[in-house]
Amino acid sequence: MKSRSILAAGAALALGFAPLATAHPHVFVDTTLRLIVEDGHVVAVDVTWEYDDFLSLLIFEDMGLDRDGDGQLTTPELTRLKGFDLIEWPEGFEGDLFMWSNGEKIVLGHPQPTDIAVNDGRIVASHTRTVPQVAVAGLEVKQYDPTYYVAYTLTGVTTASGDCTADIAPYSRDAAEAALAEELSSMPEDVFEVMQLGHLYADTIRLTCSGSS
């Protein structure tokens, strides 16, 4: 894990050789997003991932950090950790962050690390990604792992413009479970593949800005 993104490693595992998937994630991440808006367009997004305590512990062990086990890192250790989850993303991995403008998928810039911290033994890692000047009107944003290997909990969305507010439409667990059951029922028993149902477990973010159309 030292040389690649933890989330990307999970994605590669699922895409490469995981057996038939069920809606049972293995990694849990609390995420907050900050959308940078200029003149009615989103130009960047700041992302913060707070990893679950078990995965954080595994990362500490893998990287040889927190040897005294107190759940806190020294400044040099934090420097080593910063950006650990942004290294060597496999081809096709999109960082589990997706945007659409009026239904058309938007390609985001490669992430750049901005901050790192440890909170109660949990790694809190932040990065930023550029957005190619997408108009607020008709924009939808979702944070999810397509394979649902990683479960994201959206804990907050803010904007860098006082004229804009973020509206969050929570996903429906009942609808997600129904879609999963339907997919399983239609799949032959001797077929093993990963189902791309993570989007069903993702909240949808839309922005409203004064004067936007």
**Residue 21: what pLDDT?**
43
**Residue 6: what pLDDT?**
56
Q: Using only C-alpha atoms, what is the Rg of the chain?
A: 18
Asked whether the predicted pLDDT for residue 1 surpasses 50, the reply is: no
Asked whether the predicted pLDDT for residue 151 surpasses 90, the reply is: yes
Q: Could you give the CA distance from residue 191 to residue 90 in angstroms, rounded to a whole number?
A: 25
Q: Find residue 32's DSSP bridge partners.
A: 48, 156
Q: Which of 203, 206, 151, 201 is nearest to 173 (CA)?
A: 201
Report if residue 43 sits inside a domain: yes
Q: Could you give the CA distance from residue 12 to residue 121 in angstroms, rounded to a whole number?
A: 26
Report if residue 155 sits inside a domain: yes
96 confidence band (pLDDT: 50, 70, 90): very high
Cβ–Cβ under 8 Å, residues 149 and 11 = yes
Strands, DSSP E only, in 41-198? 41-51, 97-101, 104-106, 112-119, 122-135, 139-143, 150-159, 164-169
Lowest mean per-residue pLDDT among 42-46, 107-111, 193-197: 193-197
Q: Which residue has the tokens 């993702």?
A: 202
Report if residue 1 sits inside a domain: no
Report if residue 148 sits inside a domain: yes
Question: Cβ atoms within 10 A of the Cβ of 144, count?
Answer: 22
Tokens standing for 115? 């901050």
**Residue 88: what pLDDT?**
79
Number of domains in the chain: 1
Domain that holds residue 129: 6-209
**Residue 19: what pLDDT?**
38
Report if residue 137 sits inside a domain: yes
**What does the mean pLDDT of the chain come to?**
84
Cβ–Cβ under 8 Å, residues 108 and 95 = yes
Report if residue 55 sits inside a domain: yes
Which is more confident, 168 or 211? 168
Report if residue 45 sits inside a domain: yes
The conformation of residue 193, written as its DSSP 8-state character, comes to -
Q: Find residue 150's DSSP bridge partners.
A: 27
**Residue 188: what pLDDT?**
65
Report if residue 154 sits inside a domain: yes
Q: Give the Cα-Cα-Cα angle 16, 22, 27 (nearest 5 degrees).
A: 70
Cβ–Cβ under 8 Å, residues 125 and 201 = no
The conformation of residue 60, written as its DSSP 8-state character, comes to H
Give the percent of the chain with pLDDT over 70. 83
Q: Give the Cα-Cα-Cα angle 186, 98, 195 (nearest 5 degrees).
A: 20
Pairing of strands 41-51, 112-119: unpaired
